[in-house]
Amino acid sequence: FLHYFYTIPLTYRYLQLQAYTFLEFSFFAFFFWHSLISKLAKKIIVIFTILFLVFQVAYYFYSLSAKYRVDSIPIGIETLFIFYFSLLYFVQFFKHTFSSNLYEYASFWLVVGIIVYLGFSFFFNILANFLTKEEFNAYWKYTYFPEMLKNVLFALIAGGIIYKKKKKIFKPNEIPKFDMI
């Protein structure tokens, strides 16, 4: 994929990066919106998503004249918003959902994967446009590790390795047996 990415003309490549950032943010925001119970938290997610979309469109048109490698400012804002959504999720999780074992909750590990992925690559993405081409190419490979870790967690979830086991519900017979004679 990366080989073909560099064959895309620079104008379209930047548009593709903007679209990727927005789709990534939208997917994560939808996940958090779907996972949270609080109506206030859901409203906050919708408002932040609209603000992010407006900002990203404005930033795209502003940055067309400049030659940036990545959309570092939208990525930084996306990361901060997703960290905030993660905080809302963890508050709800530990207040209402948490019962015994963390490994049983796939959504918990999905959020951990998102935080690892965005947290590890946050500063690199912020500084990517200020690095020389040689520095960028030398250090870009270090963003692959958090991406692989995120993908492993997502694959474990998708494969059903991480899930909450359903407890068997014991239903006694409706008519009790009082045959003691």
Token output for 96:
């209402």
What count of other Cβ atoms lies within 10 Å of the Cβ of residue 51?
Answer: 12
The answer, yes or no, to whether residue 167 has pLDDT greater than 70, is: no
Cα–Cα distance for residue pair 52/73, rounded to 1 Å: 11
**Whole-number pLDDT of residue 164:** 58
The answer, yes or no, to whether residue 45 has pLDDT greater than 90, is: yes
**Whole-number pLDDT of residue 27:** 93
Cα–Cα distance for residue pair 107/131, rounded to 1 Å: 36
pTM: 0.78
What count of other Cβ atoms lies within 10 Å of the Cβ of residue 86?
Answer: 19
Residues above pLDDT 90, as percent of the chain: 29
> 21-35, 48-62, 77-91, 125-139: which has the minimum mean pLDDT?
125-139
**Whole-number pLDDT of residue 81:** 97
At 131, is the pLDDT very low, low, confident or very high (cuts 50, 70, 90)?
confident
Q: What is the mean pLDDT of the chain?
A: 82
Residues above pLDDT 70, as percent of the chain: 80
Return the ∠ at Cα 82 (arms to 27 and 69), rounded to 5°. Answer: 80
Closest CA to 28 of 115, 142, 122: 115
Cα–Cα distance for residue pair 21/125, rounded to 1 Å: 12
The answer, yes or no, to whether residue 4 has pLDDT greater than 70, is: no
**Whole-number pLDDT of residue 86:** 96
Cα–Cα distance for residue pair 123/79, rounded to 1 Å: 10
Amino acid symbol at 102? L
The answer, yes or no, to whether residue 10 has pLDDT greater than 90, is: no
